[in-house]
Amino acid sequence: MTHPVTTAMVLAAGFGKRMRPLTDAMPKPLVPLKGKPLIDHVLDRLAAGGITRAVVNVHYLGDMLETHLASRTRRPSIVISDERDAILDTGGGVARALPLLGDGPFVIHNSDSVWIEGVSSNIARLIAEFDPDRMDSLMLLALGATSMGYDGHGDFSMAPDGLLARPGERREQPFVFTGVSIAHPRLFAGAPEGPFSLNLLWDRAIARGRLFGLRLDGSWMHVGTPQSVQDAEQWIDRSAAV
């Protein structure tokens, strides 16, 4: 049975250490971009892409984040996954929230992923492209060379059919992960207990030939430091003026 994708997991529990001093007194998801908290950009984008329900995990300054989320009056509806007892990393955080996410595929979205949309919603494109018969996960990827603030070596190579690989640690990869994907719950079969990274499950999916990618339509911004917030705001202004 094919499940419509209407639920998302928003990863919002981290400490945001690279964003200090902005995160000394607030969690990173509440850092403002163009006068609007990063997590509100995420939630509004998810709603525009067809998501009606979002599970948000909290840990660092979780009370502050939960209070903010409770003040929202627009879609998606919010459910809190409480991790205040332990930091669980990306994979462990999603694994804890699985009972809240249901038995169908769901979007996983970092709370600091920012981009300028192209012609249509990239969330809607990702949902439309996801094929549970072939895929355990479908990742939204951007070209590293044209992404603002990104100076890494890339994360994946992508075949013409979207199949992903990591050819080697020292080789440059053209595509960078934007922090957004769709996962089928079976991706978490056999996952370890406690903290672990989603990279563990993605590498297992690569070995099975079931990790795929979709290229972002638009411009992705790597927002990880206070300076990058300012750079992103200026880039958004320039794009709006074109």
The C-alpha torsion from 79 through 185 and 110 to 44, rounded to 10°, is -50
DSSP 30: G
- pLDDT tens digits for 132-149? 999 999 999 988 777 776
Q: Is residue 36 part of a domain?
A: yes
Which of 185, 171, 182, 179 has the alpha carbon at shortest distance from 212?
182
Model pLDDT, residue 212? 97
Collapsing DSSP to helix, strand or coil, 183 comes out as strand
Q: How far is CA 115 from the centre of its chain?
A: 12
How many angstroms separate the CA atoms of 125 and 196, rounded?
A: 29
Q: Is residue 140 part of a domain?
A: yes
Find where tokens 């599970």 sit. 55
Q: Is residue 2 part of a domain?
A: no
Query: Where in the sequence is the domain holding 86, given as residue range(s)?
Result: 7-241
Collapsing DSSP to helix, strand or coil, 215 comes out as strand
Q: Is residue 1 part of a domain?
A: no
Q: Tell me the chain's radius of gyration from C-alpha atoms.
A: 17
Q: Supply 148's token pair.
A: 């603002």
How many angstroms separate the CA atoms of 58 and 55, rounded?
A: 10
pLDDT along the chain (242 residues), means of 10: 81 83 84 88 93 92 88 92 90 95 94 85 94 96 78 82 81 85 95 94 96 92 80 77 60
Question: What integer best gives the mean pLDDT of the chain?
Answer: 88
Q: Is residue 173 part of a domain?
A: yes
Strands 7-11 and 53-58: parallel
Q: Is residue 231 part of a domain?
A: yes
Q: Is the peptide bond before 21 cis (omega within 30 degrees of 0)?
A: yes
- pLDDT tens digits for 63-85? 889 999 999 888 899 999 988 98
Max CA distance (Å), the chain: 49
Residue 32 sits at φ, ψ, to 5 deg, of -80, 140
- CATH code of the domain containing 57: 3.90.550.10
Find where tokens 């009972």 sit. 99
Q: How many domains is the chain partitioned into structurally?
A: 1
Strands 114-117 and 211-215: unpaired
Q: Is residue 178 part of a domain?
A: yes
Q: Supply 230's token pair.
A: 């300012």
Q: Is residue 210 part of a domain?
A: yes
Q: What is the 3-state secondary structure (H, E, C) of 73-110?
A: CCCCEEEEEECCCCCCHHHHHHHHHHHHHCCCCEEEEE
Find where tokens 């013409």 sit. 160
Model pLDDT, residue 131? 94
